[in-house]
Amino acid sequence: MSAADKNSSPYSDLTSANGHDNPGLPHHRPRRADVDKKAGKRAERQTALLFAISIIGTVIAIWAYFGLDIGDGGDVAAIQQINMWIGIGVFLAMIGIGLGAIHWAKTLMRDHEMVEERHELRSSDEARAGAIQNLKDGAEDSGLAGVERRGLLKGTLITALAIAPLSVLVPQIGNMGGDWNVSKFRHTIWGPGVRLARDPDGALIKASDVTIGSVFHVIPDGLHELDHAAMMNEKAKSVVLLVRLDPKDLTIQQGREDWSFDGIVAYSKICTHVGCPVALYEQQTHHLLCPCHQSTFDVANGAKVVFGPAKRPLPQLPIAVDDDGYIVAQADFDEPIGPSYWDRLKGGDDTAVEEETR
């Protein structure tokens, strides 16, 4: 080994090991086709057959594309037929070539193993010395090292290179965040007097429609008047679940005595874990289950977490009933809905955020 001590191995290179000698390559056993001309011919025919299957496959795919009737351009079943036949064509076209080539290699090409030496990857000592010398010479030529070290150049170059990317990145990143107004997370379009409507048809909800045990998926009235993009952003924050319990099952939370109406409570539908819609309500237990990671919230008790990865209760929407008997919001949520983020309890705008109660 040409290498220095550092690269040596205390273990053998396997020409012998643990006192035993390497027995050398096992005996090569000839295959049928190696000794029998007929077997060779047979293998050749089989391979050709496989290639022929591929040719047929290509023909099937092209026939399916041109030849099958697509219907009136809108017949889903017809399109699915075409897809399937093209697919089968592609399958045959590919597998024929593949199996053919492999069969050829296995039966007719060399299977007698050969041996090649490896060379150590480490470059020779001379090459290394040469490389180091070249770099030294180069550094000296540049003036960055050697007799006249131009320290000023080095310092400014490194600084320039380090900050140059900012000239592109700052504008790019700066532009990508829209208006950067992250306090939007705090608001939804709920507000005093906004009526509760059914999702998705927008029908308003009267308190008398809500029977005990029933559950309504709710959006704020007027949501659909927004343009689509704004509607999606608002809907992602403002969806609510409305549930009516037997008032005697309901534990009213402190400070929220007037947030419900005769056993009807409304909670944000956006999970306080990482934001899935909490859509599964179990009547008997009054539990709401988030299908994403199974956080379970107790609707009868302030939607507090009873199981799973969420920590905070679902935010409650304070509701009342207006003069026409419709359920309305008393105000927006009093905390940001959905997943937690670093500054969710910090002000930064006019929304008053109360300390969380639990």
Partner 1 sequence: MGATLNSAASGTANYVDERTSIGGFVKFFARKLFPDHWSFMLGEIALYSFIVLLISGVFLTAFFVPSMETVHYEGPFATMHDVEMTKAFESTLVTSFEVPGGLLMRQTHHWSALLFLASIMVHMCRVFFTGAFRKPRELNWLVGFTLMILGLAAGFTGYSLPDDVLSGNGLRIIDGVIKGVPLLGSHISFWLFGGEFPGTALIPRIFTAHILLVPGLILALIALHLFLVFLHKHTQYPGGGRTHRNVVGLPLFPVYTAKAGGFFFVVFGIIALVASVFTINPVWNYGPYDPSPVSAGTQPDWYILFIDGLLRMWPGWLFGLPTEWELWGYTLSLNILIPSVIVPALFFGFIALYPWIESWATGDKGEKHVLDRPRNVPVRTGIGVGMIVFYVILVLEGSNDIVASLFHLSLNDLTIFFQWGIFILPVLAFWITKRLCLGLQRKDRELVLHGHETGTIVRHEHGEYVEVHSPLDDEERWVRVSFDNHKPLEIAPERNDRGVARKGYRWDRFKQRLSRFYYEERIEPVTPEELEAAHHAHSDAPSAHGLADAADAKGANERLDDEWEELDEGATKK
Tell me which residues in 302-331 interact with partner 1 (CB under 8 A): 305, 307-312
Q: Are 273 and 303 in contact (CB under 8 A)?
A: no
282 contributes a contact to partner 1 by CB under 8 A: no
- Closest CB 248 distance from partner 1, rounded Å: 27
Residue 16, SS3 per DSSP: strand
Stretch touching ligand FES by CB under 6 A, among 152-160, 212-220, 237-245, 302-310 = 302-310
How far from the centroid of its chain's Cα atoms is residue 197's Cα?
Answer: 33
Residues in contact with partner 1, total (CB under 8 A)? 119
What CA–CA distance (Å, rounded) separates 283 from 214?
8
**Closest among 265, 262, 248 to 319, alpha carbons compared:** 265
DSSP state of 208: G
Residue 253, SS3 per DSSP: coil
Which residues ranging from 53 to 92 are in contact with partner 1 (CB under 8 A)?
54, 64-65, 68, 70, 73-76, 79-80, 82-84, 86-88, 90-92
Stretch touching ligand FES by CB under 6 A, among 68-76, 95-103, 127-135, 269-277 = 269-277
Contact characters 171-210, partner 1, x per CB under 8 A: --x--xxxxx-x-xx-------------xx----------
Which residues ranging from 111 to 130 are in contact with ligand FES (CB under 6 A)?
none
What CA–CA distance (Å, rounded) separates 286 from 308?
16
What is the identity of the amino acid at 52?
A: A
What CA–CA distance (Å, rounded) separates 160 from 65?
58
Identify which of residues 244 and 269 has a Cβ nearer to ligand FES in the complex.
Answer: 269
Identify which of residues 10 and 151 has a Cβ nearer to partner 1 in the complex.
Answer: 10
Identify which of residues 266 and 314 has a Cβ nearer to ligand FES in the complex.
Answer: 314
104 contributes a contact to partner 1 by CB under 8 A: yes
Other C-beta atoms lying within 10 Å of the C-beta of residue 92: 19
